[in-house]
Amino acid sequence: MGLAIAAVFVITCIFATQATAQKSGGILRLGGERDVNDLDPHTTRVGWDINIMQNVYSGLVRAGTDIQPRPDLATSWKFTSPTRLEFTLREGVKFHNGREFTSADAKYSLQRILDPNVPAGYASTIASIDSIETPSKYKLVLNLKRPDAAIVTNLSLPAMAMVAEEAVKPMPVGLKDGMMGTGPYMFKEQIKGQRLVLVKNPNYYDKSVPLLDELHFVPLKDQTARTNALRAGQVDYIEPLPPKDVNALRRDRRIKVTGGPNISFVNISLNVSKKPLDDVRVRQAMAYAIDRKEMVEKGFDGFAQPLWGPPLIPPYWAGNDDKYYSLDRDKAKKLLAEAGYPDGVDIVLRIGTTSYHAAFAAVVQSELKKVGIRVEIKASDSATAQRDWRSGNFQMYPIRWWGSDFVDPDGALSPLFTCKGSYNNSRFCDPEFDKLLAKGVVATSIPERKKAYQVAMKRLAEQQPWVFLVAFDRFQAMRDYVKGYTAFPNASQYSFREVWLDK
């Protein structure tokens, strides 16, 4: 029983050519938007951190450029019944400490993710696993509680990394001092505020990669500083490229820009357990009040697609064109009055120092003011803001859900919006939505699954636990001597193993 998850995306800018011979060696300096605080692949919840870990860890499977699962530590898999999934593992794979990876490690890793004592942000995406068997050193069997059409795809998430028990068990949950996996690069050091260094794994199972000797991840939180560092040659690559700088860097002959439309999205997470957001009419009023065109232009410099409902839109295979909301400020005011707030209401929007937060918050504040919703913007460092979001100490919070966080529609919806979703920081619980969403993973064909998700998204739009605003374009920029980079449609960074320097 294999389910081919079809997705049509334009994969842009693969720059390595057959005419130019690849070169091995060298250091790639990468400018990113933050320092890495959690080096644990199972507990980290930040996209930039996850992308770094994609180079250190491997999973049973990983997503290709078409975001369909491809072999990684598993060479093949098959359903022997609707609820029994068997994996054949790659032989001879070594952890970075030299020990061989086996089915026992795969079982330990998945059980750790599912352990309620481990705050694994993506545990709910594989919650259908009932038990795990290891019939031999290179055989792994997952027994499921129910048919789950999304399970293989969800196992390709970077958060499903295979870890060695000896590397994580002696340490507290949320590793701080190192990483140890089976991936193409190995952790060397982290100097806070300066760089995190990965070095080539000489024993990686694919002997053709990696090509580089080292990756240096340099935290450059300020957007302008990040772009200027690339221009000055202080780094070789930056990601994400601030939207405001895309056109200027495209005109710079020394620099190449990759990326574009992406399945990632940015919306406002609403804490539905706190007044006035416990009233669905207030949440719906917000959806009618914000002009998505203003958000696209002022919040993302024109590089985003408007969302008038839940985030699955074409060309994603489960996307649909239904428009659940429109710009209707009179309707927004009417809903507020019906909810008992005819004179408007005061709400706090928490933000951090993440690159898009300030511009995003300014548009939200300006737009909601037009219907009587007075927004106070409360800023803090990103770590504090994210901690408050996770703990429920917020009313509104802008959340960016990277495409690398999901490759199946179930992964885009179930962690965030189901009653037991491991990322459901909005405290939203609608059993009816959970039932509708569950139909999407028990269906056995693409048309059936798509229909199920359309019905579920309609329900989600009605309940509005988030204000859905934009699917944003995602860009990277690099010096012209950086070759072989591929922009993934879900913001993954697996291609660093194939990057080389033509200098």
Phi, psi at 492, each rounded to 5°: -70, 160
Tokens of 226: 């990040």
Residue 65 lies in a domain: no
Count the Cβ atoms, other than its own, within 10 Å of residue 264: 25
Residue 438 lies in a domain: yes
- Looking at the predicted structure, is the pLDDT value of residue 79 above 90? yes
Q: What is the pLDDT of residue 237?
A: 98
Tokens of 460: 């989600």
Q: What is the pLDDT of residue 312?
A: 84
Count the Cβ atoms, other than its own, within 10 Å of residue 457: 27
Cα–Cα distance measured from residue 74 to residue 96, given in angstroms and rounded to the nearest whole number = 18
Cα–Cα distance measured from residue 438 to residue 429, given in angstroms and rounded to the nearest whole number = 14
Q: pLDDT category, 19, cuts 50, 70, 90?
A: low
- Looking at the predicted structure, is the pLDDT value of residue 433 above 60? yes
Q: Where are the beta strands (DSSP E) in 201-279?
A: 214-219, 237-238, 255-260, 265-270
Residue 165 lies in a domain: no
Q: What is the pLDDT of residue 472?
A: 85
Inter-axis angle of helices 329-338 and 280-289, nearest 10: 160
For residue 366, the domain's CATH number is 3.10.105.10
Residue 383 lies in a domain: yes
- Looking at the predicted structure, is the pLDDT value of residue 383 above 90? no
Closest CA to 109 of 40, 28, 10, 197: 40
Cα–Cα distance measured from residue 37 to residue 176, given in angstroms and rounded to the nearest whole number = 7
Closest CA to 45 of 119, 154, 138: 119
Closest CA to 33 of 432, 336, 357: 357
Residue 363 lies in a domain: yes
Tokens of 445: 């064909």
Cα–Cα distance measured from residue 271 to residue 465, given in angstroms and rounded to the nearest whole number = 8
Residue located via tokens 């100490």 = 393
Q: Containing domain of residue 316, as a range? A: 265-472
Q: pLDDT category, 18, cuts 50, 70, 90?
A: very low
Count the Cβ atoms, other than its own, within 10 Å of residue 295: 22
118-122, 363-367, 415-419, range with the lowest pLDDT: 118-122
88-97, 325-334, 410-419, 454-463, range with the lowest pLDDT: 410-419
Pairing status of strand 474-479 against strand 237-238: antiparallel
What pLDDT, in 10s, does the model give residues 225-259?
999 999 999 999 999 898 899 999 999 999 999 99
Tokens of 3: 């389910």
Q: What's the average model confidence in pLDDT over 126-151? A: 96
Q: pLDDT category, 407, cuts 50, 70, 90?
A: confident
Overall number of domains in the chain = 1
Q: pLDDT category, 2, cuts 50, 70, 90?
A: very low
- Looking at the predicted structure, is the pLDDT value of residue 322 above 80? yes
Residue 404 lies in a domain: yes
Amino acid (one-letter) located at 214: E
Q: What's the average model confidence in pLDDT over 94-119? A: 97
Q: pLDDT category, 404, cuts 50, 70, 90?
A: low
pTM over 0.75: yes
What pLDDT, in 10s, does the model give residues 180-210?
999 999 999 999 999 999 999 999 999 999 9
User: Residue 81: which residues within 8 A CB-CB, separation 6 or more?
Assistant: none
Cα–Cα distance measured from residue 156 to residue 234, given in angstroms and rounded to the nearest whole number = 34
Residue located via tokens 């190995």 = 186
Residue 259 lies in a domain: no
Residue 114 lies in a domain: no
